[in-house]
Structure 1
Amino acid sequence: MTSYQNILPFQSEQLAHAHIIQSDAEALEIAHNLAEQFKAGAVQRDAERILPFEEIEAYSQSGLWAITVPKQYGGAEVSSYTVAQVIALMSGVDGSIGQIPQNHFYGLEILRNSGTKQQKQKLYAEVLKGARFGNALAEFKTKTAAQRQTAIRKTDQGYVINGEKFYCTGSLFAHRIPTLVVDEQDQQFLAFVPRNSEGLTLIDDWSGFGQRTTGSGTVKFNNVQVLAEDVVPFDIAYSEPTISGPFAQLLHASIETGIARAAFEETLKRVRQARPWIDSGVDQATDDPLTKFELGRIVADVRASEVLLKQAARSIDAARPAPTAENVAKASLDVAKVRAHSTETALKASSKLVELAGSRGSQREDGLDRFWRNARVHTLHDASRWKYYFIANHILNGVLPPRRGTL
Structure 2
Amino acid sequence: MTAFPEKLLQRIADGAAQRDAQREQPFALINEIKATGFGARRLAAEHGGGGTSLTETFDAAITLAEADPNIAHIWRNHHVALERILNTPSGHPAVVRLRDRVLAGDMIGAANTELGQAQIGGGGPFASRLVREGSGYVLNGKKFYSTGSLFSDWLYIPVSLEDGTRVIAIAPKGRAGLDTVDDWFGMGQRLTGSGTTLLDNVRIEADEVLLPADIPGKQAVFGSTIAQLFLTAVIAGVVAAIARDGAALLGKRKRNYYYAPTPAASQDPILLAALGEREADAFATRAIVLAAADASDRAYAALQEKTEDVDARLQAAAAAAAKAKITVDRIAHHAATALFDITGASATLAHLNLDRHWRNIRTISTHNHTAHKAYALGNRSINQVALPTQGFF
Q: Is the pair's TM-score, using the shorter chain for normalization, greater than 0.5?
A: yes
The aligned runs of 1:3-402 (5 Å cut-off) are: 25=1, 28-30=2-4, 32-111=6-85, 112-113=87-88, 115-145=90-120, 146=122, 148-233=126-211, 239-240=217-218, 242-274=221-253, 275-323=255-303, 324-402=310-388
Q: Distance in 2 between matches of 1:110 and 1:120?
A: 11
Residue 31 of structure 1: how far off its partner (Å): 5.3
Amino acid at match of 2:261: G
Residue 143 of structure 1: how far off its partner (Å): 3.1
Give the conservation status (yes or no) of the 8 Å contact 2:139–2:201: yes
Give the conservation status (yes or no) of the 8 Å contact 2:47–2:99: yes
Q: Distance in 2 between matches of 1:351 and 1:264?
A: 12
Residue 318 of structure 1: how far off its partner (Å): 0.8
Residue 90 of structure 1: how far off its partner (Å): 1.4
1:215-238: per-residue Cα shift (whole Å, max 9, x none)?
A: 111111112111222222458868
Amino acid at match of 1:231: V
CA shift in 2, pair 1:299/1:238, >3 Å: farther
1:56-110: per-residue Cα shift (whole Å, max 9, x none)?
A: 1111111001112111121101000111112111111111101001101111222
Alignment-derived partner of residue 13 in structure 1:
none
Q: Distance in 2 between matches of 1:172 and 1:362?
A: 31
Q: Kindly tell me the number of residue pairs found equivalent between the two proteins.
A: 381
Q: Distance in 1 between matches of 2:382 and 2:268?
A: 43
Amino acid at match of 1:304: A
Q: Distance in 2 between matches of 1:192 and 1:124?
A: 12
Q: Distance in 2 between matches of 1:198 and 1:372?
A: 39
Amino acid at match of 2:108: F
1:278-318: per-residue Cα shift (whole Å, max 9, x none)?
A: 44332233444443443344333332222211111111111
CA shift in 2, pair 1:395/1:106, >3 Å: same
**Higher mean C-alpha deviation, range 37-46 or range 126-135:** 37-46
1:146-170: per-residue Cα shift (whole Å, max 9, x none)?
A: 3532112333232221110012111
**Higher mean C-alpha deviation, range 44-53 or range 242-251:** 242-251
Give the conservation status (yes or no) of the 8 Å contact 2:3–2:60: no
For structure 1, list consecutive stretches of 5 or more residues without a partner in the other structure: 1-24
Residue 53 of structure 1: how far off its partner (Å): 0.8
Q: Distance in 2 between matches of 1:202 and 1:305?
A: 33
Q: Distance in 1 between matches of 2:345 and 2:214?
A: 53
Partner-residue secondary structure (3-state), 2:201 = strand
CA shift in 2, pair 1:325/1:31, >3 Å: farther
**Higher mean C-alpha deviation, range 280-289 or range 90-99:** 280-289
Q: Distance in 1 between matches of 2:206 and 2:214?
A: 18
Q: Distance in 2 between matches of 1:269 and 1:345?
A: 21
Q: Once the two structures are aligned, what percentage of the paired residues are identical?
A: 28
Q: Distance in 2 between matches of 1:166 and 1:383?
A: 19
Q: Distance in 2 between matches of 1:36 and 1:214?
A: 19
1:119-175: per-residue Cα shift (whole Å, max 9, x none)?
A: 332111111111111110111233332353211233323222111001211111111
Partner-residue secondary structure (3-state), 2:181 = strand
CA shift in 2, pair 1:355/1:232, >3 Å: farther
Partner-residue secondary structure (3-state), 2:4 = helix
Residue 332 of structure 1: how far off its partner (Å): 0.5
CA shift in 2, pair 1:212/1:183, >3 Å: same
CA shift in 2, pair 1:257/1:189, >3 Å: same
Alignment-derived partner of residue 307 in structure 2:
none
Q: Distance in 2 between matches of 1:189 and 1:102?
A: 20
Partner-residue secondary structure (3-state), 1:402 = coil
For structure 2, list consecutive stretches of 5 or more residues without a partner in the other structure: 304-309
Q: Report the TM-score, using the length of structure 1 for normalisation.
A: 0.87
Partner-residue secondary structure (3-state), 1:382 = coil
Amino acid at match of 2:58: A
